[in-house]
Amino acid sequence: MAHWLAMGGYAIYVWPAYAVFLAVLAWDWFAPALRRRRITRELRGRLARERTRNARTERAEAST
Amino acid sequence: MTTPPAPAAPLLSAHRLAFSRNDEPVFGPLDFSLGSGETVLVEGDNGSGKTTLLRVLAGMLPPGTGEIHFHGEPASRDSRNGRVLWLGHRAGMNEALSARENLGFLAGLYGARGGMTAATAMERVGIAAWIDEPVRTLSAGQKKRAGLARLLLLQGDIWLLDEPYANLDRRGIGLVNALIAEHCASGGGALVTSHGAVRFADPRARHIRLDA
Amino acid sequence: MDSTAQSMTGDRIACRATGVRANAAGACIALLRRDFVLAWRRRGELFLPLLYAVIVTALFPFALGPDPELLARIAGGVLLVIVVLAMLPALESMFRADLDDGTLEQWLLAPQPLALLALTRVIAHWLTTVLPLIIVMPLLGALMNLPVKVLPVLIVTLLLATPLLVLLGAVLSALAAGARRSGILLALMLLPLAVPVVIFAAGAIAGAQSGMPYIAPLTWLAAALVMAIVLAPLACAAALRIAVES
Amino acid sequence: MSRSYLPHWMHWLGSPPNFYRFAGTLRPWLMALALASAAIGLYGGLVLAPPDYQQGDAYRIIFIHVPSAWMSLFIYATMAVAGLIALVWRVKLAEVIAMECAPTGAAFTFITLATGSLWGKPMWGTWWTWDARLTSELVLLFLYLGVIGLCNAFEDRRRGARAASLLALVGIVNLPIVHYSVQWWNTLHQGTTVDFLDPARSSIAAPMLWPLLVMALATHLYFFASILGRARTGLLSLESGKQWVRTLVDGQPAPTMEAPT
């Protein structure tokens, strides 16, 4: 195993290359998920505000 | 001005014309035509799509669905350009140049009407004294008038006027109505948007009502 | 100006009666004249790229030492890069003012093809902002101790390369005109497009400097210029349409 | 617009809610396949394949470097095709796909440059060389960044997408010219060229070739999974006013009417 990890002496080049590959693709995979969560949170807030606004106007209409 | 004999196709016609922005319908479907000598007034509140309609007709926005014809030909660069004059919110004039220079340039693009020069056009709209001043120094109303001078000077029988009354005083509004009337009398046609606050002079004008 | 309008009116009456449209050559001349008047009115700004080029050129000997041989060896490439950098700021504002004041809307509805107007604008821009840079090249060459035999090749190279860069820059400038901010964005977009131009231009200059043939890269530049004259205005027109849409 | 002559299934898939659901179903499968093939490819490449007789184990970077380089070009081509569709037919989905391709493409281009650099150091003794291939790849990265930057510089995202699509198309004309010119330039300055051990040489031995091809398959599958996810997110933000997004987000039917004024 240690022999394999040493990569024939090239470990300091091979493993960072694979680390870059994995890290960048992990970013690529998770960035849209984070963006998506932000979008849905904002949208949920907007919908909630809209509902309270509508409820308020309905009450106002009922009282007049 | 030479107008073709009576059974000619209208200057501009729209058939089932509709436009959506981001899948939200903005206006339409609309059917209308603008014949020679006619004025069509497009009315509606803010946000009802008046400007959008004019931009679609001018080819600055792609039509959503429906057809537009100019002189009976389907709308294209060839059938539209050179026939349409556009007056929008912006003057279409460079601020550092004088009205004379701007008008001279545009006359080079569009061609000038017979018997009309930058000077006579500016005279007609009442700001001849400012003809050599940089456009930057003109007031909003004067810029609008300079835009009207452009309509007078340039060739093109279909006028698309987006809120031509904005920024104008009572005399200016009268001027716009007089210019439209003259243009129609000489065989042209005008499509005019207004948010309804201004009384349109021509009682025969047809109306298109856009609702938000 | 008034007399022009007057004389134009003469032909237009005939045009109108026969339905012939305003002609393309007249439109191009009108646009060129307008841009020249505008440039003349802002002639102070035209000196800024020149000043920039002179200052940067003067900095090189300070940074690298006044060794005439070293300067002579790098002069061609350095001057090429300085010209490219000096062109950049002006490229950004190629269409912006016209978009903001509504002139582009008038372009769009003019009887002439939009691409033709864009090409005319490129020519006007090149004549007013880039040509002066090429004219002062002998002076800059002297500052950098450029070998005299290289100077003509340098100037011919720039005469081919800079119009090409302005054509490419016009497309990008039109693309960026509708955006909120551009600035560094334009440089970022221009870099990939400028790479081949700079390579061939530098190749020609290096060839002349080392006594090797320099005709081949110049031919490539000329071919690219012809291609760009045909294609770039079309792309530019498409970009301007996107910019006007709103 | 007249989209009616497109095949029916394309029309169906072009509708954002349909695409959203379809992509949501397909995506996990693609990603699972991508991970499985990556596992096989990496096992083959890192464990089974023998060391290279010249480069020792350093050559094992090839199994990510070359697939990434292929992806950087493949994604650019995808972006340009989607951009063309977006410009000509104004299909919203094509705009979204074109724009969402750019970050992933830039990511693969960056990986190519970084791994190439890590490979170059032990092989050529330098982190960077102005080799034709590397230089073209760097230019490609700038093209991607330009597309991303232009798209984001617009207030109106759809207009930004179309402008950036046009830039992508200009770039695709430019890329071969860049490659050719850089090659020409490189032969001109022969002194700087390092003896490049062509990584994609066809004489590669079979135990090294099959992991490379499997890794290429894995990156393609990954890209498809990634672009589906990105396009879903892009559609969600672009269509945030729409009923289907509202129902999707909070499960309850949204108010059908704005507050009366």
Complex ipTM: 0.88
Beta strands in chain C (DSSP E): none
D187: tokens are 């032969």
Contacts 24+ apart (CB under 8 A), B5-10: B8/B36, B8/B71, B8/B72, B9/B69, B9/B71, B9/B72, B10/B34, B10/B35, B10/B36, B10/B69, B10/B71, B10/B72, B10/B189
C88: closest CA of chain B, how far (Å) = 23
- When pLDDT is cut at 50, 70 and 90, the band that residue C131 belongs to is very high
| Nearby residues of B116 by Cβ (< 8 Å), 6 or more positions away | B152, B153, C9
Q: Determine how β-strand B206-210 pairs with β-strand B39-44.
A: parallel
> What one-letter code names the amino acid at B126?
G
Indicate which of A22, A27, A28, A49 best probes the interface with D, i.e. most D CBs within 10 Å of its own CB: A28
- D181 vs C178, C195, C235: nearest CB: C195
Q: Phi and psi (nearest 5°) for C196? A: -60, -40
Distance, CA of B56 to CA of D151 (rounded, Å) = 24
Give B-chain residues touching C113 at CB under 8 angstroms.
77
Mean pLDDT of C172-185: 86
Note whether B130 and B89 are within 8 A (CB): no
Mean pLDDT of C68-81: 91
C167: tokens are 């054509």
Q: Tokens 């960077």 — which residue?
A: D128
Q: Phi and psi (nearest 5°) for B12? A: -150, 135
Q: What is the pLDDT of residue D190?
A: 46
How many other C-beta atoms can be found within 10 angstroms of the C-beta atom of residue D116? Answer: 24
* Of B74, B91, B79, nearest in space to B156 by CA: B79
- Mean pLDDT, chain D, integer: 85
Q: Is C91 touching D (CB cutoff 8 A)?
A: no
- C4 vs B61, B90, B104: nearest CB: B104
At what angle are helices D132-152 and C184-209 packed, to 10 degrees? 150
D211: tokens are 């992991």
- Least confident range of A3-7, A49-53, B156-160, D71-75: A3-7
Note whether B148 and B179 are within 8 A (CB): yes
Give B-chain residues touching C1 at CB under 8 angstroms.
100-101, 104, 118
CA atoms in the 13 A half-sphere facing the CB of B148? 31
Ordered DSSP codes for C37-90: HHHHHTHHHHHHHHHHHHHHHHHHHHHH-S-HHHHHHHHHHHHHHHHHHHHHHH
Touching C: B residues 92-121, CB under 8 Å: 92-97, 100-119
In chain C, where are the structural domains located? Answer: 45-244
Minimal-distance CA residue of chain C relative to B55: C245
Q: Is pLDDT at D48 greater than 70 in this prediction?
A: yes
Does B59 contact C109 at a Cβ distance shorter than 8 Å? yes
Touching A: D residues 22-61, CB under 8 Å: 46-47, 51, 56-58, 60-61
* Residue-wise pLDDT tens digits, D200-242: 444 567 888 899 999 999 999 999 999 999 999 999 988 887 8
D173: closest CA of chain A, how far (Å) = 27
- When pLDDT is cut at 50, 70 and 90, the band that residue B200 belongs to is low
Q: Is pLDDT at C162 greater than 60 in this prediction?
A: yes
Name the pTM for this structure: 0.88
Calculate the CA dihedral of residues A23, D133, C183, B88 and round it to 10 degrees. Answer: -100
Q: Is pLDDT at B2 greater than 70 in this prediction?
A: no
C102: closest CA of chain B, how far (Å) = 4
Ordered DSSP codes for chain B: -----TTPPPSEEEEEEEEEETTEEEEEEEEEEE-TT-EEEEEE-TTSSHHHHHHHHTTSS--SEEEEEETTEEP-HHHHTTTEEEE-SS--S-TTSBHHHHHHHHHHHH-BPTT--HHHHHHHTT-GGGTTSBGGGS-HHHHHHHHHHHHHHB--SEEEESSTTTT--HHHHHHHHHHHHHHHHTT-EEEEEE-SSSPPS-TT-EEEEE--
- When pLDDT is cut at 50, 70 and 90, the band that residue B85 belongs to is very high
Minimal-distance CA residue of chain D relative to A29: D226
Share of chain D above pLDDT 90, in %: 52
Note whether D219 and D71 are within 8 A (CB): yes
* Of C67, C199, C81, C210, nearest in space to C149 by CA: C210
Give A-chain residues touching D120 at CB under 8 angstroms.
none
Q: Based on the number of CB atoms within 10 Å of its own CB, is C118 exposed (0-12), middle (13-18) or buried (19 or more)?
A: buried
Contacts 24+ apart (CB under 8 A), C138-143: C139/C54, C140/C53, C140/C54, C140/C57, C140/C79, C140/C82, C141/C75, C141/C79, C143/C54, C143/C57, C143/C58, C143/C61
Rg (CA), chain A: 27
DSSP state, residue D196: -
Sign of the torsion angle spanned by Cα atoms B193, B197, B202, B208: positive
What subunits make at least 3 CB pairs under 8 angstroms with A? Answer: D
